[in-house]
Structure 1
Amino acid sequence: MLVLQGFLTILLSFWAVIDQQGFVITTWFPIMMALFMGLITGDMQTAMIIGGTFQLMALGVANIGGSSVPNWGLATIVGIYIATKTTHNIADAKAIALAVGVPVGMIGIQLDVLAKVINTYVAHAAQKAMNAGKFKKMNRILWIGPLVFGLSTALPTALVVCFGSTLVKSVLHFIPAWVTNGLSIAGSMLPVVGIAMLLQVMPAKKYLSMLLIGFFLSGYLNIPMMGVSIVGLAMAYYFYVTTVKTNTTTSTSSALSADEEGDDFDE
């Protein structure tokens, strides 16, 4: 079972980066990687908590224009695999996942740059074959591109799967308690930072009353998040029907009336 989990973890890291460059079915989002890692490791609760932590770290970070950013998807995969194999305590698992995943995510920047540099030569080689009319050779060369991208994440994941658990246990044995405690505190603060970043791009002032209602339902009535989400959906639907849809209908009616008046004037 351990061998199968390791193989599936490596396969997931290989597929995810190729998917991100092409089909975008699963996406590199940490929370999506956590879902699959939860199925692989059999510890969905720990996986989703770690994935949510890395997802909040990834908010506002995008590789626009081909730029390279920390690979938090890879960090999630590696962090969850090591954490679930090292401890069954969720607080300790978060600290271990951050301690292992963050450096791997930062290394992902260099690996992404390296893969893009190599694929530049791949693209030139394929173009050269195309100009020479060797289209079958061109197609064979182009297969190297996805392979390079896949290996850029599969190789570090394989190293972690093969040697990571023993290495991490040795490292954690020498890491002071204040370091792991600090990582746990930082992980607990990340949701606050993530929500604050989201509020900056949301019309919070315009819909402050709705935010307060949601906070009241969750903070004082202890309603589960699904219940709060249903209330939010109902409020959004009511706002759409009474405001957006009504204004759209009124604008359409006014436009039709203006057209009819214009036709009468022409006659």
Structure 2
Amino acid sequence: MTVVQALLIGLFAYLGSKRTPWFFGVAGGWNMLGRPLVAGLIVGLILGDVRNGVIAGAMVQALFIGQITPGGALPSDVNWAAYIGIPLALAAGGTGEQAVALSVPLSMLGLGLFNFIMTINSCFAHMGDKAAQAGDGAGIHRATYLAAVPSLILRGGSAMILCYVGTPLAEMLINNMPAIALHFFEVAGKMLPAVGFAMLLKQSLSKKWMIALFLMGWILIGSTSMSVTALAIFATAVALIFVMAQGDTRAAASSAAVTPVQSEEDDCYEE
């Protein structure tokens, strides 16, 4: 990996990190550039291996697909997992399985870096409060933009250095690793995304019987030649029918509950 490639990866790692004000804020940064699937495409373009980059990004994305950030709290740092794990695996000649295996410890280490950056940025919040008390609008803007500097230095700089310095080490480990260890990473890389889907199902299924819908989709994909796009359209139609039927049932139940009251009022009026 060249210095320019590592620098570009570090730049996109910064733009895709949380609390970065550029590129449409959180919407364009953390929720778009920061997603492993998008990061895999970007890293693939930078390293000249788009196909494997997208595959690795999709596998890492599947691992973290069920992750939520309640109140801004991060259970793990997807940014480090995407912009360090994927390029290290690709540059070292690894596959998506190796990218997934690297992303797990990197996401934990990145979480510590995120908390450290937020601790530093608390100083700029106090700076903005003092400027607001003094009626200094320019001071508020200054504090807001200065808060992006620690993230640029620590987030972008760490991704750049680890990608550039860590590539030879990752390549040496992959080339000299025993076959059983490589097989372990391959198996783990295929199992870990299942954990992400399990987390997503736990959040999405409000009732236990809804697991039948998931099984129906899994059977259709496995036993037919139906594409994912066709299955998504079919699932949308089923969901629409389900919602409409549920709405009609509730409306009928509501009408049934109102009717006896109205008849009772009419009887009272006749008396």
Q: TM-score range by the shorter chain?
A: 0.7 to 0.9
Q: Match for residue 50 of structure 1? A: 56
Instruction: Give identity over the alignment, percent.
Output: 25
Q: Distance in 1 between matches of 2:84 and 2:173?
A: 16
**In the alignment, is the contact (CA less than 8 A) between 2:91 and 2:171 conserved in 1?**
no
Please say if 1:179 is aligned against 2:181.
Answer: yes
- CA–CA separation in structure 2 for the residues paired with 1:110 and 1:187: 23
CA offset at residue 203 of structure 1?
Answer: 4.2
Show the counterpart of 1:227. Answer: 230
Query: 1:237 — aligned with what?
Result: 240
CA RMSD in angstroms, aligned pairs only: 3.5
Aligned mates of 1:10, 1:225 — CA distance in 2: 33
| Aligned amino acid, residue 175 of structure 1 | M
Answer with 54-63 or 221-230: which moved more.
Answer: 54-63
> How do 1:250-265 residues align onto structure 2 when only pairs under 5 Å count?
250=252
In structure 2, the gaps of 5 or more residues are none
Following superposition of structure 1 onto structure 2, how do residues 135-214 of structure 1 map, counting pairs within 5 Å? 135-201=137-203, 202-203=205-206, 205-214=208-217
**1:9 equivalent in alignment to 2:9:** yes
Cα distance in 1 for residues equivalent to 2:163 and 2:191: 29
Aligned letter for 1:16?
G
Aligned counterparts, 1:38-77, within 5 A:
38-77=44-83
Report the TM-score, using the length of structure 2 for normalisation: 0.77
Aligned residues of 2:66 and 2:197 also touching (Cα < 8 A): no
Report the residue type matching 1:97 in the other structure: A
Alignment of 1:217 with 2:223, yes or no, is no
What corresponds to 1:33 in structure 2? 39
TM-score (norm 1): 0.78
- Code of the residue aligned with 2:111 in structure 1: it is I
| Structure 1 unaligned residues grouped into runs of 5+ | none
Whether the aligned pair in 1 keeps the contact of 2:89 and 2:99 (CA below 8 Å) is: yes
Look up the SS of the partner of 2:76 in the other structure: coil
Once the 2 structures are TM-superposed, how far is the Cα of residue 118 of structure 1 from its aligned partner?
Answer: 0.6
* 1:47–1:80 CA contact under 8 A, matched in 2: yes
1:69 partner amino acid: P
Question: Distance between the aligned counterparts of 1:209 and 1:64, measured in 2?
Answer: 28
Output the CA distance in 2 between the equivalents of 1:244 and 1:174.
59
* SS in structure 2 of the partner of residue 206 of structure 1: helix
